[in-house]
Amino acid sequence: MHVILPDGKQLDLQPGATALDAAQAIGPRLAQDALAATANGDLVDLLSPLPDGASITLITKKNPADAAPLFRHSLGHVMSMAVGEYYKAKGYGADAIKRGVGPYIENGWYQDFDLPEPLKEEDLPEIEKIMRDIIGRNLPFSRREVSKAEALAQFPHDPYKAELIQGLPDDEAITFYQQGDYVDLCAGPHFPSTGRLPQSFKLMSTSGAYWRGNEKNPILQRVYGVAFATQKELDEYLFQLEEAKRRDHRKLGRELELFTIDPLVGKGLPLWLPNGTVLREELTNFMKEQQFQRGYQGVVTPNIGNLDLYRTSGHYEKYSDGQFRPIEVDDEEYMLKPMNCPHHVRIYASKPRSYRDLPVRLAEFGTVYRYEQSGELNGLTRVRGFTQDDAHLFVRPDQLKKEFLDVLDLTVLVLKTFGMNEVRFRVGTRDPGSDKYVGDEANWTLAERQIIEAVEEVGLPYTIEPGDAAFYGPKLDFVVKDVLGREWQLGTIQVDYNLPERFDITYVGEDGADHRPIMIHRAPFGSIERFTGILIEHYAGDFPLWLAPRQVMIIPIADRHNEYAEQLRAELHTQGLRAEVDDSSNRMQAKVRTAELSKIPVMLIVGDKEQEAREVSVRERTPEGHRERKGVKFDDLKAELLERRRTRA
């Protein structure tokens, strides 16, 4: 057999050769440094036979991160061995510990256990200590193939392993991996030995998990770990986790009194508190201004609709599992609105349209309802009732590209306004092998091509994701990175030839004949709830002045300055700025601290000197820290704040 090296050269090997054999054939130093390999692009360990003719690349200790899935999976085996030794030291026999699955996952791994007594979070450091000892023993990983009968004989007292083995094909070899006296059913791949594994790992948590995800099965204890090639990467990851906890929008939502979810109202149905309502209205006002400049017309549609409306659109058929059950009223069936688009189609159809009327741009902050399982609900980012900044454009074919580009421009503007500058674009196309889509194949092909041409015209980087389209048309999704580097899918634009067909809507062309419009679906925010939840975490609750629910806190040093403080508040309030006075009996430092905890962006401190000169001392929260200015003329500051609000700086 032979393999192809990265430089294109062919390396001849004995049949059944492994990546280690290939490394040894090249040179002993490479064999010593090798950790893993890729074969035809797939990660493999040094022990597994290579396919004949495979293109291979050897991964060495110079670039261990390239083999991250392997060292994470291997550390999972080390942890499983360590758990066995931990319970052995407590007096339990090997048969008392039973194991479910233990795959590697993003950034780490998990392993499911059926244990004689549960592991507690405080036990994890001791397990880590045993893991480091096992790594220090430098135990080689070995691989062997066995029959199904041999495999079952290896685990006579473990029903979970037995069930997994019974489910494997009879005619396929079953593989075991072993380090020291620990043996596990595993397809691999693994590192060469425990001593070559990175020590930059940490056991994070435990949780319950149904065996094989079935609630009728026993609950096992799942232990999670994370691992990286270097300690620096691990430290950065742990810092990001702590920062994510600090920024959690559910926590900040409570502290800043933005929203609440009341069990008496219902799961996944957020209540917007006064501060959160201000934030929400600032977002909607911003979008309404942009829509007005671009010629959109506002509409309002009801929160329920006749079931036949959603049958005609296809939403009921395609998304029935994600919708609330129909409601029977006067021998008719109604549904909580899952989508705004069918309602907007009927508004378009409410009167005859001429080619001169197009494009028709209908916009609505429309509330829709989706059934989400309780376990999937998450603050504002996953809810059952949410409001979309929805718009539907009805255009002639010759208008499609221009209108699509304008929507693209609007969405990019929205993201940049909120400091979301790292954006990638995802073109969702139809999966030809799926039957979930509706409409003419030629229209699908045309719509997909038009989206790609528009994205390429503006020079945006994009990827194509087959199978990611909506059931009625292809789409362009905007995936942004927040300040923690996490990706979120936000706005979306869709080109749709199919709903106009399903509802048989038309316009009269220059030739006097009926023609079919094309629809563009558009939602730059996506969901106001989800967008707000992401914004809270993106800003850590430190909103820019224009967006902050509480913009200015005026802090009088003593009671005799309260009247002057109230005068300034009234002037700011008259100009539309959200200003308050802290006239409590607290000391000035305590008032400043309270405003800090409330994340109010601007604090104005006034005393005798400021009152006499009609000045203020300014303390501001900025991304870089605090900025303080003394002796600032109040009129100058007011003009500055108004300009910052106007420009949404």
Enumerate the known binding-site residues for Zn(2+).
341, 392, 521
388 is catalytic: yes
> Which amino acid is it at 408?
L
573 is catalytic: no
CB-CB contact of 513 with 506 (8 Å): no
| Strands lying side by side in the sheet with 552-556 | 579-581, 552-556, 602-606, 615-622, 625-633
The values of phi and psi at residue 531, to 5°, are -60, -40
> Which amino acid is it at 238?
L
**CA 83/CA 88 separation, integer angstroms:** 9
Q: How many residues can be counted in the chain? A: 649
Per annotation, catalytic residue among 21, 184, 389, 390: 390
**CA 552/CA 570 separation, integer angstroms:** 12
Per annotation, catalytic residue among 370, 382, 561, 591: 370
Q: Residue 213 has what DSSP assignment?
A: G
And the tokens for 155? 């685990």
341 is catalytic: yes
Location of structure tokens 């000035």: 588
Residue set of the binding site: 341, 392, 521
72 is catalytic: no
**CA 369/CA 265 separation, integer angstroms:** 15
Per annotation, catalytic residue among 111, 388, 551, 611: 388
**CA 481/CA 492 separation, integer angstroms:** 16
521 is catalytic: yes
Sign of CA dihedral 306, 312, 315, 321: positive
**CA 607/CA 557 separation, integer angstroms:** 5
Do the bridges between strand 462-466 and strand 423-429 make them parallel or antiparallel, or are there none, so unpaired? parallel
And the tokens for 194? 């425990």
E-state strands within 151-269? 174-179, 182-185, 201-210, 219-227, 259-260
Query: Any bridge partners for residue 428, and if so which?
Result: 465, 475
CB-CB contact of 194 with 78 (8 Å): yes
| Strands lying side by side in the sheet with 42-44 | 42-44, 34-39, 56-60
Those residues with Cβ within 8 angstroms of residue 537's Cβ, 6 or more apart along the chain or in another chain: 244, 247, 248, 249, 252, 482, 484
370 is catalytic: yes
**CA 72/CA 135 separation, integer angstroms:** 13
392 is catalytic: yes
For residues 366-388, one letter each, b for 16 or more C-beta atoms within 10 angstroms of the residue's C-beta and e for the rest, the string is bbbbbebeeeeeebbbbbbbbbb
Those residues with Cβ within 8 angstroms of residue 133's Cβ, 6 or more apart along the chain or in another chain: none
Query: Distance of CA 52 to CAs 49, 145, 583, Å?
Result: 9, 19, 81
Q: Which residues are catalytic?
A: 341, 370, 388, 390, 392, 475, 521
